[in-house]
Amino acid sequence: MNVDAKPKLSAAAKAVDVFQPPFKPVTIDVTFWAGDLAAQMDKWTTWTSS
């Protein structure tokens, strides 16, 4: 892998490149999920199966 490589993107590809502004990275609140994973999974399962 070459971490210094720069992709040659078309104008259309640059418009949707999620690694560039105005896009922002999504972060996960690990403390929230680790604190009560079983309850969160129950809520997720109930929501997705309804």
pLDDT of residue 32: 84
CA distances for 7 relative to 1, 4, 49, angstroms: 13, 10, 41
CA distances for 3 relative to 17, 20, 23, angstroms: 17, 16, 21
pLDDT of residue 44: 93
Which pLDDT tens digits describe the chain residue by residue (50 residues)? 898 998 899 999 988 888 888 888 788 888 888 888 899 899 999 999 98
Tell me the helix, strand and coil percentages in the chain, rounded to 5. Answer: 45, 0, 55
For residue 29, give both structure tokens: 């609140």
For residue 22, give both structure tokens: 């105005």
pLDDT of residue 49: 94
pLDDT of residue 28: 87
pLDDT of residue 50: 87
pTM of the model: 0.38
